[in-house]
Structure 1
Amino acid sequence: MAEMDAIMEFALPRFQAMLVEGQQRWAEIASSLTLAPVGLLPLRPEEGYLLIHATNQTETQVYYFCITLYSEQEPGGRLVQLRLVDIVRKSLVNTFENIKLDLIRRNRQLPNPATYTLVSRRAYPVQETLLPIARQLLARATA
């Protein structure tokens, strides 16, 4: 048991330091992102599309999102499910509003979807970095 205590005394301060560093990086990245609605928001904002775009790239990733009312597993109680729908090119002609109109034309089951853009000034890994932060920001925005 003394050996286990020694290992714990050695490891716990390092784990704590890494946890604090991770929380600081999360906060820095989240503060550098901009989440904004595209067009008018519907009366039911729990379902729609998320457009993830880095300003230094031309591609925009389109995700379908659905937010549950309550989940015990998630902090804040709301689970945000994301599913990749499409990857489109954003240009002067193909704006976020035009992308939303195209999504409405293609998917008639959502006549007026809640659509948000998540704009990043830097390129971050989408799966590992942007999607977890996007889930948290969407849950806050629709609360």
Structure 2
Amino acid sequence: MNTLPINWLTEGLIDFEYKKYLLLAYLQAAKEEFGQQRLYPVFSDLIMHYRNLLQVKEHKKLVYESFPQRISRADFEKLELVYEKIVADDETMQQIEEIIQYASPLFGEAVESGKELYDFVERHLEISPVGITPIYHNEGYLFLEAFPGKETQVYMYRITVFENTYEKYRGINTQHLQTVRRGLAITHENLKVRLLRERQELPNPATFAIVSKIPVPLEHSLLPIAKRSLVKYVAQLAA
């Protein structure tokens, strides 16, 4: 899809009409992705751009921690230097202010549309444990089924917990193991038993099935939302 550079606000021609053209093309592409129920990667990009815009608007500075991991420290420092030069130029800064005022509500609306789609998909996911659930839930298997449920995507998952002074964060990594064609004889419980026979690295794994009740793209919506839903579900079990 049509993407927007990380430093779209400050790079190239600083002109309101030009930046408006770039922005509207990007937001139209994002709208089309949402129309196809494809949330990622566009939703996370929208959030990143919106946060960065608010940082500039509210604090007149760029904060490195607000950028996604893919931007390097060197790239950030270069972007910050560019912004410092812009601040010193009153005419250019006026153009930037106009662009920010125009772009902020549009980004807000786009992010809200993405959140509504995310919540809609999440509400139509059914999560359930498979078999006996052990005390340790941070590692195991995930059975994921799109709608209609003719196939089961089997993943190994690992949840990592890290914290700072104020908050505890949970991340999740998944590895796709196989795609299983479902049938009357292949239940989730049978599939778990088969995995235990075939794979010895997890002798007593937690196993969860997530089934979508609506048709959504696997890679661009179902899998990333299912992963986040599983993290929340496991966190509730541990509480």
Q: TM-score, length-normalised on structure 2?
A: 0.56
Structure 2 CA distance for aligned equivalents of residues 60 and 123 of structure 1: 14
Correspondence for 1:77: 169
Higher percent of residues as strand: 1
Asked if residue 138 in structure 1 is aligned to residue 230 in structure 2, the reply is yes
Correspondence for 2:104: 12
Alignment-mate amino acid for residue 231 of structure 2: A
Correspondence for 2:138: 46
- State, as a whole percentage, how many aligned pairs show the same letter: 35
Correspondence for 2:159: 67
Structure 2 CA distance for aligned equivalents of residues 97 and 19 of structure 1: 39
- Asked if the contact 1:90–1:96 (Cα under 8 Å) also holds between the matched residues in 2, the reply is no
Deviation at 1:70, TM superposition (A): 1.8
Deviation at 1:116, TM superposition (A): 0.5
Structure 1 CA distance for aligned equivalents of residues 173 and 218 of structure 2: 15
After the TM superposition, which of the residue ranges 42-51 and 131-140 deviates more from structure 2?
131-140
Which has the bigger relative contact order, CA under 8 A and spacing at least 6?
Answer: 1
Asked if residue 92 in structure 1 is aligned to residue 187 in structure 2, the reply is no
The C-alpha deviation readout for 1:96-123, integer Å capped at 9, x for no partner, is 1111111111011212211111100122
Alignment-mate amino acid for residue 206 of structure 2: A
Q: CA, structure 1 residues 53+105, in 2 after alignment: closer, same or farther (shift >3 Å)?
A: same
Alignment-mate amino acid for residue 77 of structure 1: Y
SS at 2:161 equivalent = coil
Q: CA, structure 1 residues 76+128, in 2 after alignment: closer, same or farther (shift >3 Å)?
A: farther
Deviation at 1:76, TM superposition (A): 5.6
Q: Which runs of 5+ in 2 are unaligned?
A: 1-92
Correspondence for 2:197: 105
Alignment-mate amino acid for residue 53 of structure 1: E
Structure 2 CA distance for aligned equivalents of residues 83 and 53 of structure 1: 16
Q: Which runs of 5+ in 1 are unaligned?
A: none
SS at 1:132 equivalent = helix
After the TM superposition, which of the residue ranges 37-46 and 49-58 deviates more from structure 2?
49-58
Correspondence for 1:114: 206
Q: TM-score, length-normalised on structure 1?
A: 0.91
- Deviating above 3 A after TM superposition, structure 1's stretches of 4 or more consecutive aligned residues are none
How many residues are treated as equivalent by the alignment? Answer: 141
SS at 2:191 equivalent = helix
Alignment-mate amino acid for residue 68 of structure 1: T
Alignment-mate amino acid for residue 41 of structure 1: T
Given the alignment, which residue of 15, 24, 29 partners 2:116?
A: 24
Structure 1 CA distance for aligned equivalents of residues 210 and 225 of structure 2: 10
> RMSD of aligned C-alpha atoms?
1.6
Higher percent of residues as helix: 2
